[in-house]
Amino acid sequence: MWMTPKRSKMEIDESRGFRAEWTQRYLVVEPPEGEGALCLVCRRLVVATGEPDVRHHYEAEHDYYERYVAEGERAALVERLRQGDLPEAAPLTPEERAARAGLGLARLLALKGCGWGEGDFVHRCMEVMLRDVLPNHVSVLDGIDLSPEITRQRVLDINQNLRSQLFNRAKDFKAYSLALDDQAFVAYENYLLVFVRGVGHDLEVQEELLTIINLTHHFSVGALMAAILEALQTAGLSLQRMVGLTTTHTLRMIGENSGLVSYMREKAVSPNCWNVIHYSGFLHLELLSSYDVDVNQIVNAISEWIVLIKTRGVRRPEFQALLTESESEHGERVNGRCLNNWLRKGKTLKLIFSLRKEIKTFLVSIGATTVHFTDNEWLCDFGFLVDIMDHLRELSELLRVSKVFAAAAFDHICAFEVKLNLLQRHIEEKNLTHFAALSQVVAELKGHLQEDEKILDPDRYRVVICRLQKEFERHFKDLKFIKKDLELFANPFSFKPEYAPISVRVELTKLQANTSLWNEYRTKDLGQFYAGLSAESYPIIKGVACKVASLFDSSKICEKAFSYLTRNQHTLSQPLTDEHLHALFRIATTEIEPHWDDLVRRRNESNP
């Protein structure tokens, strides 16, 4: 699809060499000899393969010069550095050191999901430690204010700093995709988390939280659409550069006529836009698929057991591993929704299944009902659910691996669909080789039932597997639509030119005949290979690579946000504004480092 230039081609930087705009942005110049970029500050040669190397050097070594932000100041700074006049970085005053320490502690508190009032407790702990270990330095804590009001404001300041950096980088995105996750919940309100994955110069990939939207205040799809478009406009991202949409498979997202995806695609249809690729199975694969395969409300019954264990069996040694796993996932407090989500994981169901005999003994000892343990069909359904969810867990873990590009993720999905076909044939033949839990249940029941009594109903489970197959086909059909593009991206030297569109055959033939590029392809990862590929010589192939690289290849960032949410549900349920929630989620998921000196300087400007 993307190999056929039906729409306007994407503009890509032609050169991987030095670019003039780097001089003011990163304080470097083109060296008189050789490649790379010469730093005007430290006079070191940055052996750059692209802009990321130059930017990383600047941010790591010379972040101080970010205070020269105005265009006139920046130009004057460059001129002074050219003449060898190096402005000395003024040492931080004690007040600035205290402010920087306070900002760092505020970020740590946010990462741990601590309440605003926890800062005072941290301050007292440090005071006790210093009084005993370094009594002469206790006074350094006097300037560090960790009061709830100050901590709250610092978290907002850090969020604003990270947001500004993201928006600056978003200006250079050549293509981007969105991930829309509507499974986030805080207390009684649901939120839509909007993540962006952008590809800048040299195919550098950036995944960040774009915004969060309160679904209570934006109930209709039209209101949601308006909020997302506003966030894109604020970030400087046009719909013309959007390549893909990754969503959950809830009705709000993929409803045929009223889903958000339909609205987004209609909005993105214009002569200057690409066909937006949508796939809905990446996010919360285990959680949402479990509703399709839980044929007998197994999870509802298990959740009642877990509540009883947490309240009346907490001291029993046989349940300690289960309780430890539960607390590491969502804390000590029993939150109904967190508990339900945890129980819909293959790993959790497998652990509970292994404890089924101990759970039955426990239920009998406290006088609770054990009716499910005498229901043969329910026990078989339990074993089948454990097995299917374990297979989904394996796929989900593969899809959490980031920086492998969508082509590798698509391979995992295709392999799983083949696996489902195999499972269907096996269940029809009553071959339980790949159904370990169900096989155990059947073996146990055979010892108590008559030989002519029916134990396993294969048609019951064949229908479930067929339904799962249809769901996968529906969720990932767009990826199959660009299958050739993904194959070309992953294996450009083995892709047969005769199977490619006419428009790309010449480029592909020339690429495969280039020995030096073949050596680079073998020794570098795909990202590095395509970053070094000349857009002047291979514009269509480079365009395909840029678009494929912008597609979400994993659910890692969404899982990171969801894990932060479930671990800190109690803290996040305290009275917080949407602005504060946005700040906490951004700090928890970002890979961008805050510009600390800039934050300290802004604090001084606001408090002269």
Domains of the chain by residue range? 20-83, 157-281+552-603, 295-479, 491-550
- CA-to-CA separations, 299 to 274, 290, 339, 547, in angstroms, rounded: 42, 9, 10, 40
pLDDT < 70 regions, the chain: 1-17, 48-49, 67, 69-71, 88-91, 269-274, 329-335, 449-453, 603-608
CA distance 566 to 186: 9
**What's the rounded Cα separation, in Å, for the pair 86 and 89?**
9
At residue 607, the pLDDT reads 57
The CATH topology of domain 157-281+552-603 is Nucleotidyltransferase; domain 5 (3.30.420)
Tell me the C-alpha distance between 506 and 485, whole Å: 16
- Report the pLDDT value the prediction gives residue 185, as an integer from 0 to 100: 85
pLDDT at 70: 67
Helix, strand, coil fractions of the chain, as percent rounded to 5: 60, 10, 30
Whole-angstrom Cα distance, residue 192 to residue 253?
A: 10
pLDDT of residue 519: 92
Residues whose CB falls within 8 Å of the CB of residue 257, separated by 6 or more in sequence, listed in order:
none
Check residue 8 and give its pLDDT. Answer: 39
Q: Residue 338: its pLDDT value, please?
A: 79
86 within 8 A of 41, measured Cβ to Cβ: yes
Q: Which residues lie below 8 Å from residue 327, measured CB to CB, with a gap of 6+? A: none
Q: What is the pLDDT of residue 247?
A: 93
Q: By the 8 A CB rule, do 449 and 376 touch?
A: yes
- Torsion, Cα 291 297 300 305, to 10 degrees, reads -130
Beta bridge partners of 176: 198, 242
Task: Tell me the whole-structure pTM to 2 decimals.
Answer: 0.84
What are the contacts of 259-267 at 24+ separation with CB within 8 A? 259/221, 260/180, 260/221, 260/224, 260/225, 263/221, 263/222, 263/225, 264/225, 264/228, 267/225, 267/229, 267/239
Name all contacts of 66-69 with Cβ < 8 Å and 24+ positions apart: 66/595, 66/597, 66/598, 67/597, 67/598, 67/601
Q: Kindly report the CA angle at 352 between 351 and 357, in degrees rounded to 5? A: 115
The pLDDT score that the predictor gives to residue 12 is 39
Sheet holding 28-29, edge to edge: 28-29, 37-39, 45-46
Provide the 8-state DSSP code for 274.
P
